[in-house]
Amino acid sequence: MLIINKIIEVETAPGISIYNITPQILEQLKFTNIQNGQVLLFSQHTTTALAINENEERLLEDVKVHLRKLAPESGKYLHNDLHLRLNIPPDEPMNAHSHLMAMMLSTSEVIPIVEGRLALGTYQSILFFELDGPRKRTLFVQFSGEVKTS
């Protein structure tokens, strides 16, 4: 079995933003020669997330509105009492709402690879959520599986 590790970097916009990273994953899959296996996607940040869903503009706006209702930025959060926290960097943001949103989503996704293709449904895309931008983010990608033999 072959295992290939990759990193995808994403420069994100301010606030909540959602990125369709399916094209990047498909591009990397082409060079693996994996026929059957899986790809693991893992967000390396506490205020980002991943999901498999439809990449439709109006739906993505609905998702942003819903997340803001669940964890409004103006809410009262203990995490934002920066003066009571120890060993925080001088540029620490008040971002408890972003952490809470991330915990309601997921930090990882696993997608089967079948006959050299991602086994995504017709309307499914791989979505990367920035919940505390703008930032430079990294996404760990691990392809594993059986390689195509001649």
Domain ranges of the chain: 2-74+96-147
What is the per-residue pLDDT across 2-61, written as a single tens digit (0 to 9) for each? 999 999 999 999 999 999 999 999 999 999 999 999 999 999 999 999 999 999 999 999
pLDDT at position 150 is: 65
pLDDT at position 84 is: 93
Under a CB-based contact definition with an 8 Å cutoff, are residues 129 and 50 in contact? yes
What is the per-residue pLDDT across 74-131, written as a single tens digit (0 to 9) for each? 999 999 999 999 999 998 999 999 999 999 999 999 999 999 999 999 999 999 999 9
Q: Is the dihedral of CA 95, 99, 101, 106 positive or negative?
A: positive
CATH top-level class of 2-74+96-147 = mainly beta
Under a CB-based contact definition with an 8 Å cutoff, are residues 126 and 50 in contact? yes
pLDDT at position 15 is: 94
